[in-house]
Amino acid sequence: MVEKLAIHGGKPVRESYLPYSRQFIDNEDIEAVSNVLKSDFLTTGPLISKFEKEIADNVGAKYAVAFSNGTAALHAACYAAGIKDGDEVITTSMTFAASANCVRYLGGIPVFADIDPNTYNISPEAIKPLITQNTKAIIPVDFTGQPAELDQIMSLAKEHGLLVIEDAAHALGATYKGRKIGSISDMTMFSFHPVKHITTGEGGIITTNIKDYYEKLIQFRSHGITRETTKLNEYHGSWYYEMQFLGFNYRMTDIQASLGISQLKKLEPFIQKRKQYVQMYNKAFENKNEVKIPILPNGIDSSWHLYIIRLDLENLGTSRREIFDALQKENIGVNVHYLPVYLHPYYQKLGYKKGLCPNAEKLYEEIISLPLFPTMSKTDVNDVIEGVNKVLSYYSN
């Protein structure tokens, strides 16, 4: 007889709750931040440019511009790309809202392309019929840390004169056909939120190989202000600066940058831990009829921000919510990523309708994100596996 679940009075797999993700801060990180607190600079100082250079060098880009958060970075990238009222930008709905919101901030219109049902990334074939004379850019998202089909997307963009702003919030350290993410698209955004690969508390960055974008990004993050004498309309003295357009205060602080510099030293071991735990999950679930594990195409190396299983609900005879709630009762901190963006009330009020991206909507109903972060132990991973097996066994019998 199958052991009863915790929600039915049984003992949970874990005594303590395991979150789906968590930051890792060590004494080196604390010391790095402490040193800044004792220094002359707390906000934008010398560590910003140091952090930017280290990120640019790490991903193989010429330039990097740091921002207060990833959403601010995307907003700046859309500004640098010249997105304005009525411009259309094609993106995926299987992402966090910021991937589309950044277009709306400038009066642009997000156009949602459906996903590939196997990779869960935006489908290049779905992008093609959506391109119009009003399309100005494509924002592919490297969902879960797996790079999108960038060769096809970049080819489409070149054919139609479009820019590519890659949302790689999940994909620091990933590679696409031997090339590091951050060096391929016109602009690429990375996020440093605490659940990402490295953290600055809150923070984001844009990498690019195009100097014009770099200069616009620098000015946009600081109110549209410049002090560069070659750009000034007038010159009143060494103290003088000009606000030349309406920018924002999106500056990162030296406190954040110091943490980022320290965290970046640990990026590779962080990713290797994630990959080790992914292999454990894959081995445990690859032959289970009730779930589908992630598919990684040839030439794609994910940095594994998320590990998602897709449930065969017909086989299980229940809903995703039932499975989710049961796992939570086992103290397994599962999550769901994401509700398709256009199904949020804000976008529904703008006129977007359910049924727009059938593959994304079906995926949303069937997925659960399992805990995955570098400070998990093998015991934690085995607890998750045991919890998933216990719940699946209960519902499939």
Question: Catalytic residues, which ones?
Answer: 196
Q: How many CB atoms within 10 Å of residue 10?
A: 15
CA distances from 382 to 244, 285, 328, 341, 348 (A): 57, 12, 16, 33, 41
**Single-letter amino acid, residue 132:** T
Token pair of 365 as six digits: 């109903």
Residue with tokens 């894959």: 282
First to last CA, the chain: 10
Residues 257, 82 contacting (CB under 8 angstroms): no
| CA angle centred on 57, ends 55 and 63, rounded to 5° | 75
From residue 233, how far is each of 79, 220, 221, 224, 236 by CA, in Å? 21, 17, 20, 14, 10
Task: Report the SS3 class of residue 48.
Answer: helix
DSSP 8-state assignment for residue 341: G
Q: Residue 24: which of 371, 267, 258 has the closest Cα?
A: 267
Q: In degrees to the nearest 10, what's the CA dihedral of 275, 333, 308, 341?
A: -130
Amino acid at 190: F
At 108, which amino acid appears? G
User: Is there a contact between 196 and 172 (Cβ–Cβ < 8 Å)?
Assistant: yes
Largest CA distance in the chain: 84
The total number of residues written for the chain in this structure: 397
Contacts of 220 (CB under 8 A, 6+ apart): 76, 79, 80, 245, 247, 248, 250
Contact 88, 139 (CB under 8 A): no
Closest CA to 127 of 102, 101, 164: 164
